[in-house]
Amino acid sequence: MTEASAWGGTVMRRLDDGWCTALNRDTLLCSIYAERPGVCRDYQMGGAECMAERAA
């Protein structure tokens, strides 16, 4: 479910639709929620960054 980024880090892989491979397309919930990466844990649902992503 991960891949190397252009900067040498490890990131969640995106599918052709541009969304994370771990996202359940039917429920729009994370399918690995209990084991999600730290960056996802730091990302506050409904926060400014979240709302900007949703708007985009």
User: How near is the Cβ of 32 to ligand SF4 at its closest, in Å?
Assistant: 6
Rg (CA), the chain: 12
Among 3, 4, 5, 12, binds ligand SF4 (CB under 6 A): 12
User: How near is the Cβ of 11 to ligand SF4 at its closest, in Å?
Assistant: 9
Among 16, 23, 45, 46, binds ligand SF4 (CB under 6 A): 23
Q: Hey, which residues does 14 pair with through a beta bridge?
A: 20
Closer of 37 and 52 to ligand SF4 (Cβ): 37
Distances (CA, A) of 34 to 14, 15, 16, 54, 55: 19, 21, 25, 23, 26
